[in-house]
Structure 1
Amino acid sequence: MTTTIAPTVDDRRVALLTGHVASHRQAVDGLARELPTLVSWGVELADRLLRGGRLIAVGNGGSAAEAQHLTAEIVGRFDGERPPFSAIALHADTSSVTAIANDYGYEEVFARQVRAHARSGDVAIFFSTSGRSPNLLAAVRAARGVGAVTWAMTGAGPNPLSRTVDAALCLPGTSAAAQEAHLLALHLVCRVFDDRVRTRLAKGRAS
């Protein structure tokens, strides 16, 4: 006869996860209060890319993954069939990143790429849980120098990045919770983006 031993409840670790979930809810609640901002970003991004603009997305570490997730949605598709649009996640060009870091220092890895790729009328979006990364701040200055619109998704604000860009979404909670909410936020932007693109293209065909 086999005796099944019930797993013991690890109260300390359950409490640890409960705290994480609570922080996640705090970040998502903060995001829900910023839905008008995300609507305006999705609409403006669609209008600029339909005019031939480009999206430049920037981040470090986990935020780099968020940046690349966003560009994949824009080049591919999110909410249905539509044309592809130009979007670049700057960390993904590892040869450029390592060459620039080696020759100019890590603070310049994104700024130099922004000066190479971004133009007036483009959108540059920066992901950062701390809002303090020197290489992102340098890239914002470069983007503003070429006339690109600058947005940021950060953790709790205000912070140096949120004060430097044209518009920022600052979310409360831990760094992990803010980063998780950034994924939801970028999906919401994509949903509005796709809706705006389809609406504009439909109107063009009807005219």
Structure 2
Amino acid sequence: MFSRFPLKKITKSKDYYFNYLDQKNALLKNIDLKVLDKIINLLKTSKKNKSIIYTCGNGGSSSLSDHFTCDFIKQTNNKTNLKIKSVSLTSNFALISAISNDISYNQIFSFQIKKLCKKNDILFMFSVSGNSPNLLEAAKVARKIGLKIISLTGFDGGKLSKLSDLNLNFPIANYGIVEDCHTTIMHYLSQYLRNLNLKNKNFKKINF
């Protein structure tokens, strides 16, 4: 089950603003913390297992895919010994358009996974609906190869939540709120892992 927002017209801007914040904050405060810890532990193992974290999503979630890779390579690794490696499967438009034109749009991610990924790599997926055909195809191919799949979803989690090893779902039918929650989790993961691996002397010298 999932909730909806708004349920009726809200005429005052401040009322919409504070209702929006309340909905988002309630979702973030009620996530499954055990799953969050498991995600953290899996990301921690990426260096030891020589894993690459691949990311993907559609629309606004494609920007989150790129944003994840940007932050984990530049920020999380900065002044730490993590050496996290991440590749966004949404960033090569020439390749995506070639796959879409010559093969199928539904294979824009799965084709790359077949060519790039190996067992024990990690696939981090962003999807509000959890039902995008190209993401479901990517998850199925990733499972066959032996990748660990992490997904952030919305609504009822869709089919993607069931194809994932670890899933955090934000059960609301509002794309903006779900994407805000996904962004918060992405930033939290990046910053928390960096915080764990920084020396105390560096905390006053750098900005998070």
* Common fold by TM > 0.5: yes
Q: Which has the higher helix share?
A: 1
Aligned-partner residue type, residue 169 of structure 2 = C
Give matches, 1:70-89, under 5 Å: 70-78=68-76, 81-83=79-81, 84-89=83-88
In structure 2, C-alpha distance between the alignment counterparts of 1:112 and 1:119, rounded to whole Å: 13
Q: Over residues 53-108 of structure 1, what are the superposed CA-to-partner deviations in whole Å (9 max), with x where a residue is unaligned? A: 10000101111111111111221123851243321110101111000000111100
Amino acid in the other structure paired with 1:100: I
| Residue type at the aligned position of 2:80 | R
Are residues 28 and 170 of structure 1, via their aligned partners in 2, closer, same or farther at CA, if it must alter by over 3 Å? same
Match of 1:57, SS?
A: strand
Are 2:57 and 1:59 aligned?
yes
Q: Within 1, Cα distance between the matches of 2:198 and 2:12?
A: 50
Q: Matched residues in 1 for 2:107 and 2:197: separation?
A: 34
Which residue pairs with 2:187 in the alignment? 187
Deviation at 1:149, TM superposition (A): 0.4
- The within-5 A match list for 1:160-179 is 160-173=159-172, 174-179=174-179
**Which residue matches 1:204?**
none
Structure 2 counterpart of 1:202: none
3-state DSSP of counterpart to 2:75:
coil
Whether the aligned pair in 1 keeps the contact of 2:128 and 2:175 (CA below 8 Å) is: yes
- Partner of residue 40 from structure 1, selected from 30, 38, 41: 38
Higher mean C-alpha displacement, 94-103 vs 158-167: 158-167
Aligned to 1:108: 107
Residue type at the aligned position of 2:90: H
Q: How far did residue 196 of structure 1 move?
A: 5.5
2-side partners of 1:69 and 1:58: how far apart? 10
User: What is the TM-score when the length of structure 2 is the normalising length?
Assistant: 0.81
Consecutive unaligned residues of structure 1, counting only runs of 5 or more, are 1-9, 200-207
Distance change >3 Å, CA 147–CA 196, structure 1 → 2: farther
TM-score (norm 1): 0.82
Q: Which amino acid counterpart does residue 133 of structure 1 have in structure 2?
A: S
Shifted more, 36-45 versus 133-142: the winner is 36-45
Tell me the amino acid that sits aligned with residue 175 of structure 1.
Answer: Y
Q: What corresponds to 1:50 in structure 2?
A: 48
SS in 2 for 1:87: strand
> Quick check: 1:43–1:192 contact (8 Å CA) kept in 2?
no
SS of residue matched to 2:152: strand
Q: C-alpha distance in 1, partners of 2:197/2:114?
A: 27
Question: For 1:80 and 1:105, how far apart are their aligned partners in 2?
Answer: 38
In 1, the alpha carbon distance for the partners of 2:167 and 2:28 equals 16
* Identical residues among aligned pairs (%): 22
CA distance in 2, matches of 1:185, 1:117: 26
Q: Secondary structure, in 3 states, of the residue corresponding to 1:91?
A: coil
Does the CA contact (< 8 Å) of 1:27 and 1:177 recur in 2? Answer: no
* Cα RMSD (Å): 2.2
Q: Secondary structure at the match of 1:143?
A: helix
Displacement after TM superposition at 1:41 (Å): 1.1
